[in-house]
Chain A
Amino acid sequence: MLEPEGGLTSQPISTNGGPRIGVYVCHCGLNIAGKVDIQAVVEFASTLPNVAVARDYKFMCSDPGQELIERDLRDGLVNRVVVASCSPLMHEATFRKATAKGGTSPFYFQMASIREHVSWVTVDNDDATAKAKALVAGAVRRVALHEYLEPRQASVRPDVMIVGGGIAGIHAALTMADAGKHVYLVERESTIGGHMAKFDKTFPTLDCAACILTPKMSAVRAHPNITLWTYADVVSVEGFTGDFTVRVRHRPRYVREDLCTGCLACIDACVHKQAKIPAEFDEGLGKRKPIYIPFPQATPPVVVVDPEACIWFKTGKCPRPCIEACERDAFDFEQTETFEEVKVGAIILATGFKTFDAAKMPEYGYGVYPNVYTSLEVERLLNAAGPTSGEVVLRGGGKPKVVGIIHCVGSRDAKHNLWCSKVCCMYSLKLAHMVKERTGAEVYNFYIDMRTPGKGYEEFYDKILKEGVHMVRGRVAGVTDEAASLEEEGRLVIRAEDTLIGSVRRIPVDMVILAVGVEPQPDAQDVRRLFNISCGGEGFFTERHPKLAPVSTFTDGVFLAGACQGPKDIPETVAQAGAAAAEVLAMVDRGAVVLEASTAFIDDAACSGCKTCVGLCPFGAIGFDDERKKASVNEVVCKGCGICVGACPSGAAQQHLFTDAEIFSEIEGVLEYV
């Protein structure tokens, strides 16, 4: 665990007699010892002022390693601890806990990162050793000035917010609601279900997506512990772990959700006799009216009015037969945006992904040739509830006899997305199977590398091969309607090198399916800022640790689930959603969280009353007593950035664990001795 446990109890010990520092240098197997001369660092450390003990150990983070620290503290050999090992972002919490177990304040501890900052990044062994010494000296100099601090705790609100109502959000919501927590599930579309609701079948078992998803959607709506807000989005987040205040905007659907029963009589009644507007849920292949429901099992089953298309909104002149048709009087054309604020203890982001925009690769002719489709469009074509009732009918009419599926569209491509989107190989095989089954067409899959790791995935590939799907190993260079021979006339031609035979092939087809990759949502950056978490360069949200904390973020109390963190298939997404729910439950049931210790404080005597700090604090944590002309910090609100401290002209503002004196000492330490 990277987070300290709540309720660290520590007995204050006397610091009389000045600091006695223990320095512990970690080998980290050969990760550090292979580059840094550990013995030299230990010997050097033992010469530094106030150092009472200097030791080394193979793995300081192991139990025996931590016990070394605890024993020295308990034996009274040392009263401050420096561990030179990996990054503090990795193991600071571990060693603070060990220090507390040794019977003192966990903050009598400082870490020197001699792995990430030294052994892993330095070519020369002597250079690495010298730099390690400097960082150790900095830590030793500063820890001597550390003050006695108690870990601060705050209680955790039991309610939880989940942002995003795809399969990840749905699964996490149900898990927590079943455990008795109240969940606010916020979804910006008018229905939950996300991408999964659009699919027909799921690989590799070919379960019908609706059959496994819609019961869960209904369960969400029926669950007494879930407040479901669709057509809503989060506009601001304040507070900190355990106590967030989240402001949510409800967009008007012009129909009262509490009254509408989903009878759909209004849709029939609409003055638009024909559905003419491309339906978003059907990827534009189907049509809808200005009043619509995305798909039959939409949850909640409430209609939405599209004011861009509705004649009443456009002209103010419409008899509005919809109102007439509604037996529940559910229409409210005066509806406006409303805002609501809730307080929650934790937040799970399950905001999902978008697919790559195939029009960015003109060589594949998407948007130019009508019979070039994206994979998501084909999912809708195959779906029994889709625009063609599950028939694979081409835009120009007719069934395809030959179909080409192009893998890696937008993925593994330095001009677009460098990453492998992970799901496309498998869903392309699934589409190959389905299209062949429905149409009897010859299907060609064009792939760069086949990636089928997962339970039952390789077996599925095997099955598809057995079915006679053609596999061509080569990335398609282009799709063209230029016919070089008679059989190519009037068809689309896919050009690729069949790299396994070493020749370029031209394969005429009737339908091209582009296996578009997985990308971050277009507003991922805004969401990231809203929740104060970080993104990788490509835009997926960054987890706290790629292996050991895959659903936590660097912001305590905010967790991740699903493809917003990176490409994932459904089983992985659900597993991660469950993991996120479990992490939240652990936090909520513990009831308390340990807060950042590095809050600011004002030395009352030194404060000149200039108010510089008051205006600078981004969180309004600094109050000002007009009578006494003194500033003071509300430590519960303070997030410990130290901006006020850096700006205080009289040195009255200080920051626990980052006092001026401590940092000056660290500067001297890293410069002075080596």
Chain B
Amino acid sequence: MSEDASKPFEPKIVAFFCNWCTYTAADLAGISRMQYAPNVRAIRLMCSGRVDPQFVLAALSEGADGVLIGGCHPGDCHYQEGNHNARRRFELLRLMLRDMGIEDERLRLEWISASEGDKVQKVCNEMTEQIRALGPLRLATVPRWSADGDHDRAAELVKQVTS
């Protein structure tokens, strides 16, 4: 990661989109040529219920300034209730991030159905602007995990707290 001091701050946002609703909505935004901030990088998961709290922490520690989680609307989950799990974990995770001094705006959960391409556009733009206003996330305290996934003690604890 290189930071060019002369360049204005451009937030990096990692997004976890469920395959059935939000990722499809993002495709729809594309098909409809809705222009939005290029700051969001989407990672496709089958269900927002797959989002492990560690993914969020990993993203923040690897240089993301914010994390967006997108799932189906309540009651619309392709797997019945994965999005409820996502919401429960999100709420706990948000409390934890607050304790770590991370602003609420940096973690966002949105229900975006397959037909809501415009909502993808709106949410991505909004979140980019909010984080741009907050400035870069500077965290020394978030533990770094290695990529091969060897789970250290902290990660285990996080998982226990949040699942």
Contacts and interface: CB of A to CB of B under 8 A. Distances in A.
A–B contact with Cβ pairs below 8 Å: the answer is yes
Interface of A: 87-90, 113, 115-118, 120-124, 127-128, 130-131, 134-135, 138, 141, 529, 532, 534-537, 542, 554-555, 598, 612, 616, 618-619, 639-643, 645-651, 655, 658-661, 663-668, 670-672
Most buried by A among B41, B43, B51, B151: B41
Contact of A664 (B19, B26, B51, B145): B145
5 contacts: A89-B23, A113-B30, A537-B115, A647-B49, A664-B147
Contacts of A667: 14, 43, 55, 58-59, 62, 64
B61 to A, nearest CB: 10
A121 B36 contact: yes
B43 A138 contact: yes
B115 A658 contact: no
B38 A122 contact: yes
B60 to A, nearest CB: 10
B12 A671 contact: yes
Interface string B52-69: 101100110011100000
Interface residues of B, number: 60
A535 B20 CA distance: 11
B116 interface: yes
Nearest to A659: B149
Contact of A535 (B51, B62, B64, B115): B115
Nearest to A606: B151
A118 B30 CA distance: 8
B131 interface: no
Contacts of A555: 78
Counting chain A CB atoms within 10 Å of each CB, which of B34, B50, B159 scores highest?
B50
Contact of A642 (B36, B46, B114, B151): B46
Given A120-B31, A660-B149, A645 B1 contact: no
Given A122-B35, A542-B114, A649-B159, A663 B49 contact: no
Contacts of A639: 79
B153 interface: no
Contacts of A141: 147
Contact of A641 (B14, B29, B35, B49): B49
B38 A130 contact: yes
A658 B51 CA distance: 11
Kindly name the residue among A118, A122, A646 whose own CB sees the greatest number of chain B CB atoms within 10 A.
A646
B76 interface: yes
The 4 closest A-B pairs by CB, nearest first: A116-B30, A642-B50, A661-B149, A643-B49
Interface in B104-163: 113-116, 121, 145, 147-149, 151, 156, 159-160, 163
B38 A131 contact: yes
A647 B163 contact: yes
A89 to B, nearest CB: 6
A533 to B, nearest CB: 9
Given A121-B35, A123-B35, A642 B49 contact: yes
A663 B149 CA distance: 9
A135 B21 CA distance: 20
A671 B145 contact: no
Nearest to B119: A537
Contact of A532 (B46, B58, B78): B78
B6 interface: no
Given A120-B31, A672-B62, A645 B50 contact: yes
Given A534-B114, A616-B85, A642 B23 contact: no
Nearest to A534: B114
Contacts of B148: 661, 664
Given A87-B23, A618-B81, 7 more contacts: A89-B19, A138-B41, A537-B115, A639-B79, A643-B49, A658-B50, A660-B52
A542 B115 contact: yes
A536 B118 CA distance: 13
Contact of B29 (A121, A646, A650): A121
A112 to B, nearest CB: 10
B162 to A, nearest CB: 9
B70 interface: no
Contacts of A646: 49-52, 85-86, 89, 163
Nearest to A555: B78
B14 A670 contact: yes
B66 to A, nearest CB: 12
